[in-house]
Amino acid sequence: MSKSHTKSNDFFMARALELAQKGRFQVAPNPMVGAVIVKDKKIVAEGYHKFFGSAHAEVETLKAMRPALLKDCTLFVTLEPCCHHGKTPPCTKAIIKSGIKKVVIATLDPNKKVCGKGVKELEKAGIKVTLIKPKKIIKEAEELNKAFFTFHREKRPYVSLKAAVSLDGKIAENRTARTHLTGKDAEKYTHTLRANHQAILVGAGTVLADNPRLTVRVKALKSLGARDPLRVILAGRRPLPQNARIFDDKNVLVLRNKTIPEVMEILYKKGIVSVLVEGGQSVFTSFIDAGFVDEIHFLIAPVKLGKKAVDFYKN
């Protein structure tokens, strides 16, 4: 497998990465993937993975070209083509059948079912496979699918924490108090975070105190295909009211008396690639202490709550 050096390759891969983002809200648990076909240093076809279960980016892009024209083209794809049967047939088979002779990829697939095997299958068929060289492009490709990479490398979901806090690091103890910490911009940001995660997790205390829906309710996001995340409730023995809004549909998972490592294992086995934690102090503290936090989103209000509220994290 050779290394690329031309600036044109960087340009074409950057376009493929741009295309990949179009599937942001609909492809999970699959990764976002984009692809372009180049001939005579010009993009002649492009595509991306549109939604889970649909044709992958490579196949989508190949379909846009007449087979007779593919022999002298190069396929640029943001992730190593898959070589196993899942919801769709292997992309490697489609690439080999197409007659294309050059493929440039941004990064290897971390899924052990692929991870280098896709490249070997293409090379065995006489296709020249090039791994993009600039670290900036490689970093962008991995950052785009950071949850997917974490899921396969660490065998757990990618975890984000979101909390509205005051200048002195406090969180409000009830829904009414929290409305004074956030506004419309913060609400939209929260719903965008929800749309970007497969699951959202809270404790039973949040359900009892706030009666939240934990859904995506921004029309602009819905128009882009944003789906409601799986709602996960960490509960002990306390009964949860069945008429609570979180139970408006069956897209809910109640986990009782589970440690955080057990929660991570359950979600991993369910194929949950990413989870957004929106809870209270005890839930935030439990995840941080367990070492399963990948990023934290603070919505900071220009006020101090002092003794009227609790710390975000309990030391």
Spatial distance between the Cα atoms of 138 and 74, rounded to a whole number of angstroms: 19
How much is the average pLDDT of 258-270? 97
Side-by-side strand order, sheet with 199-203: 252-256, 230-235, 199-203, 274-277, 158-165, 295-300
Between 175 and 45, the more confident residue is: 45
Burial classification of residue 149, based on how many CB atoms lie within 10 Å of its CB (0-12 exposed, 13-18 middle, 19 or more buried)? buried
58 among known catalytic residues:
yes
Between 88 and 104, the more confident residue is: 104
How much is the average pLDDT of 207-229? 92
3-state secondary structure of 168: coil
% of the chain with per-residue pLDDT over 90 = 66
Spatial distance between the Cα atoms of 27 and 48, rounded to a whole number of angstroms: 10
User: Which pTM does this prediction carry?
Assistant: 0.90
How much is the average pLDDT of 141-149? 96
Q: Mean pLDDT: which of 65-79, 197-211, 223-237, 261-275 is highest? A: 261-275
So what's the pLDDT on residue 11?
92
68: Cβ contacts below 8 Å, ≥ 6 apart: none
Please state at what angle helix 146-154 crosses helix 135-144, rounded to 10 degrees: 80
Q: Is the pLDDT confidence value at 183 over 80?
A: no
For residue 230, give the DSSP letter.
E
H/E stretch holding 217 reads none
How much is the average pLDDT of 176-197? 79
Between 275 and 88, the more confident residue is: 275
So what's the pLDDT on residue 166?
86
So what's the pLDDT on residue 244?
94
Tokens at 41, concatenated = 């240093």
Q: How confident is the model at residue 4 (pLDDT cuts 50, 70, 90)?
A: very low
**What mean pLDDT, rounded, does the chain reach?**
90
Catalytic position from the list 58, 60, 80, 121: 58
Q: Is the pLDDT confidence value at 5 over 70?
A: no
Q: Is the pLDDT confidence value at 175 over 80?
A: no
How much is the average pLDDT of 101-118? 92
So what's the pLDDT on residue 279?
84
So what's the pLDDT on residue 2?
47
So what's the pLDDT on residue 180?
56
Phi then psi dihedrals of residue 122, to 5 deg = -65, -45
Spatial distance between the Cα atoms of 199 and 107, rounded to a whole number of angstroms: 26
pLDDT digits (tens, 9 = 90+) for 231-255: 999 998 888 999 999 999 999 999 9
Q: Is the pLDDT confidence value at 86 over 80?
A: no
How much is the average pLDDT of 148-156? 96
Between 115 and 315, the more confident residue is: 115
